[in-house]
Structure 1
Amino acid sequence: MNDYRIEKDSLGEAEINNAAYYGINSFRAYKNFALTEEKSNISLIRSIVRIKKASAKVNKILGYLGKDKAEAIIKSCDGILSGDYDDEFIVHPLQGGAGTSLNMNVNEVIANLAIESLGGTKGEYGIINPLDDVNLSQSTNDVFPTAMRIACIEKTRLLAERLAELQSSLQKKEEEFATVLKLGRTQLMDALPITLGQEFGAYARAISRDRWRIYKVEERLRETNLGGTAIGTGLNASLEYIYRITEEIKNETGYGLSRSDLLVDTTQNMDVFVEASGLLKACAANLIKISNDLRLMASGPKGGLGEIKMKALQQGSTIMPGKVNPVICEMVLQVSYKVISNDLAITMAAGAGQLELNAFSPLIAHSILESFELLIKAVEKFDKLCIRTLEADEERCREYLERSTSLSAVLIDILGYEKASEIAIEAFESDITIKDYLTAEGILPEDQVEKLFDGYRITNPGRSKK
């Protein structure tokens, strides 16, 4: 028995491994786009499969596809969605043809699985044809963009959940550190006092905005061009099919998808993915800020700030025993930089569409799904392995605050700016705290000094009475 079969297309013949469920189109695409070992995103693939399943159901209802064929296709789709055939999808994510190669890869795998279920042999496309049956009433140009939207909605929900968990952890730290008074810093220089809890409250608020923005962007992703076929005009798809397919894909996914009121627009324009990616970039920017703040506050522990303590997760050096690095923050930073670079690729690819189609949708799909997946995992690890385990070094925080001349700001309302500045300089040169200097020099009574420098008062709005 031969270990390969011969398949034909308009370009000629090719030998296909008999064990493979993909066919000649997938094989040619694999050869043409063999850039790395990377394969197309599995969420995108499964979204395409869901569309094929929904289409088979509609085509069966409308009588365009026979019962046996339709049910065999549906069964094949279910098998793929179970995860049993992931290795059959061999096309690299960066492929020419606006996603045609991946669409054909899916069509061929479904067809050959369906052929076997009907008693045939792989490649007997007279039984089930990848194009005439599996791709019936469809085009890559309405299937691929719709699959992108479905996959992104799935990731949007997961990321929103992870951000909600991170926000909650930051809010708990806000409460835990509410009484930890520390030195604030602007431009890395000593500034007014603040509580560690106030800093974490600001982090929580930033993540809250990210969570809400990403949750809301799903509304923009729900509009699909299914039924528009090649350029959004709907050629080779009946009106009945166009109306029914959106309802069927809603049922299949459980998402509130809707049909675009101008399929031509939704077929050719990719700006919704630029919008979604922009929100991921905003989230990345906030994660960069928070991660860098934490690295700075945890620096040392003896030669840096050392205001907070991070849990040790692994050894940090091959030559310096005992060294521990802020590895989770560093991972989050790298993920965030990657998300920002992906956003540029998405923006350029979306703008490069010409006339009725964007040929670069595979790059958009690959980049935005990678950004989603990286953020989902990174946010989860940041929350569980870093934020939840943070501790404050209250003694170190208090020491920095008391030795800083920034506390002289509380004297402005009583003594004026010039006198407060003079006191700050003299205390600094004498290497004593502002409080001790005021008492030692008899500038203010001790009880008044204690009231002026009360931690709660100096970290909240208000003015001192002369």
Structure 2
Amino acid sequence: MSTRLEHDLIGDKEISNDCYYGVQTARAMENFHITGVTLSKFPTFIISLAKVKKAAALANFELGLLAEKKKNAICHACDELIAGRYHDQFMVDMIQGGAGTSTNMNANEVIANIGLEFMGFAKGEYKHLHPNNDVNLSQSTNDAYPTALRVALYEKLGELNESMAIIKGAFAKKATEFKDVIKMGRTQLQDAVPMTLEQEFRTYAVMIGEDIERIREAQQLVREMNMGATAIGTGINAHPEYTKLVESKLQEVTGRPFVTAGDLIEATQDTGAYVQISGVLKRVATKMSKICNDLRLLSSGPRTGFNEINLPAMQPGSSIMPGKVNPVIPEVVNQVCYQVIGTDVAITMASEGGQLQLNVFEPLIAYNLFNSINMMKNAFETLATSCVCGITANKERCLELVLNSIGLVTALNPYLGYENSTIVAKEALQSGRSVYDIVLEKGFLEKEQLDEIIKPENMIRPKNYGLSEKHKIKPVV
């Protein structure tokens, strides 16, 4: 294998000529054996790094700081990365020391070597196109890395919203399908009052819809970036006009409304936006996990549980119990949600641990935010396509539970009065008989009246009972 000799602050190091990364990336690969998850596993982040570098090159060229041939080479290399090529050259572990310097240099070296070949030179001939002097011109890790992170998060949050729209749509479609299924609502796992399965599933769609809006709001937080801050926000080594110009170039390259922070020193050290985004992810995970808990309860049994709905049978549920089928899709979504909720603590502590003018723990923040979003996106789409879309209702079972529930008394209360309703409820509990039969037996209502009252459309929405119904209430027996 042919090699080339590269040099850095530490000394000389041989690099395989097959590699587009250079000496600083190679040292990081030796130093950080942490997760085994490299930058290459997060293509959106690599593409975002390339967009940041391209915007910087365009700004530097316009300011007369970068020769046209170098600008063209850098832009060509960035376009290659944006197109999805050379991602296997991003070999640094996602969690690393140095506040992301290894990630930044991995990008600088790969872009430089792709650019060198475009210019007709060999990899490593940095006198023609240098990773630091040219690709990293007017930048620091401390503004390039967090800006790339924000560019990537903007896209990933958009993807998450798309997956949430899919699961919202799945619940809304099922709600329409279940509009005629009357069932028992429950509070504190006890019978409450009747409702429809449509209302139950429509609620899930509404809950998810609310969180889609929260994700959209969180997406706006990452529009503010600190390009031009360089090391700590003072803009040292950058042209006075660079900050404003690179803002417009980044908007041009990304097609997104990124804006420069009002105070670059503040923006370089403040990671509060990531904490808020993580909090929104935690909110989404908490509510989605609650929904999955409900699906598992509603489908429990089938003979000894609620058995109001049937989840699609995805795989055998036991190595010892024939015929058992488990709610594996809601279960896996639950686990994803638990992971996201736990990850929120790590992101919070990484943000809190920042000191003075820079937070060195952004690699941990990036790794966890990307992981959480990717897992949630995959989990929600799986829940929609492999579970919710195939749910069926046990209509007769749902009606049976309503008619046999003590909670039916609540729907009859305006007609029977509280005292009579209490008598019916108590006798039903003690005897095991249905509320329906006891009401007829005691003559509180005629069968036609009772059947009218317990029609689904009469039990699931507000009604003005008026004085006429009150006057019909018979005295306590």
Q: What's the TM-score, normalizing by structure 2?
A: 0.94
Residue 96 of structure 1 contacts residue 359 of structure 1 at CA under 8 Å; is this kept in 2?
yes
Task: Give the secondary structure class of the aligned counterpart of 2:80.
Answer: helix
Structure 1 residues 208-227: aligned runs within 5 Å:
208-227=209-228
Deviation sequence 1:36-87 (CA, Å, 0-9, x none)? 3211232222211111111111212222111111111111111222222111
CA distance in 1, matches of 2:70, 2:218: 38
Task: Give the secondary structure class of the aligned counterpart of 2:6.
Answer: strand
1:253 is displaced (CA, Å) by: 0.6
Q: What's the TM-score, normalizing by structure 1?
A: 0.96
Structure 1 residues 295-444: aligned runs within 5 Å:
295-444=296-445
Segments of 5+ residues of structure 2 without an aligned counterpart are 471-477
Q: Who is 2:473 aligned against?
A: none
Deviates more, 1:362-371 or 1:413-422: 413-422
CA distance in 2, matches of 1:276, 1:239: 32
Task: Give the secondary structure class of the aligned counterpart of 1:239.
Answer: coil
Aligned pairs, how many?
Answer: 465
Q: Who is 1:129 aligned against?
A: 130
Deviation sequence 1:337-357 (CA, Å, 0-9, x none)? 111112111111111111110
Q: Who is 1:204 aligned against?
A: 205
Deviates more, 1:90-99 or 1:66-75: 66-75
CA distance in 2, matches of 1:178, 1:4: 69
Q: Who is 2:25 aligned against?
A: 26
Deviation sequence 1:216-270 (CA, Å, 0-9, x none)? 2222211110011111111111122111101001111110111111111111100
Residue 22 of structure 2 contacts residue 106 of structure 2 at CA under 8 Å; is this kept in 1?
yes
Task: Give the secondary structure class of the aligned counterpart of 1:191.
Answer: strand
CA distance in 1, matches of 2:291, 2:369: 23
Task: Give the secondary structure class of the aligned counterpart of 1:217.
Answer: helix
Deviates more, 1:391-400 or 1:58-67: 58-67
Q: Give the root-mean-square deviation of aligned CA atoms.
A: 1.5
CA distance in 2, matches of 1:457, 1:415: 16
Task: Give the secondary structure class of the aligned counterpart of 2:123.
Answer: coil
Residue 115 of structure 1 contacts residue 124 of structure 1 at CA under 8 Å; is this kept in 2?
yes
Residue 413 of structure 1 contacts residue 463 of structure 1 at CA under 8 Å; is this kept in 2?
no
Task: Give the secondary structure class of the aligned counterpart of 2:107.
Answer: helix
Residue 181 of structure 2 contacts residue 198 of structure 2 at CA under 8 Å; is this kept in 1?
yes
CA distance in 2, matches of 1:242, 1:76: 23
CA distance in 2, matches of 1:383, 1:115: 47
CA distance in 2, matches of 1:439, 1:44: 69
1:3 is displaced (CA, Å) by: 2.6
Q: Who is 2:474 aligned against?
A: none
Task: Give the secondary structure class of the aligned counterpart of 1:401.
Answer: helix
Residue 46 of structure 2 contacts residue 81 of structure 2 at CA under 8 Å; is this kept in 1?
no
1:463 is displaced (CA, Å) by: 5.8
CA distance in 1, matches of 2:259, 2:266: 14
Deviation sequence 1:97-153 (CA, Å, 0-9, x none)? 110010001101111111222222222211211100110000000001111110011
CA distance in 1, matches of 2:300, 2:312: 13
Q: Who is 1:13 aligned against?
A: 12
User: Residue type matched to 1:79 in 2?
Assistant: E
Segments of 5+ residues of structure 1 without an aligned counterpart are none
CA distance in 2, matches of 1:356, 1:437: 75
Percentage identity across paired residues of the two chains: 44
Residue 220 of structure 1 contacts residue 272 of structure 1 at CA under 8 Å; is this kept in 2?
yes
CA distance in 2, matches of 1:56, 1:260: 20
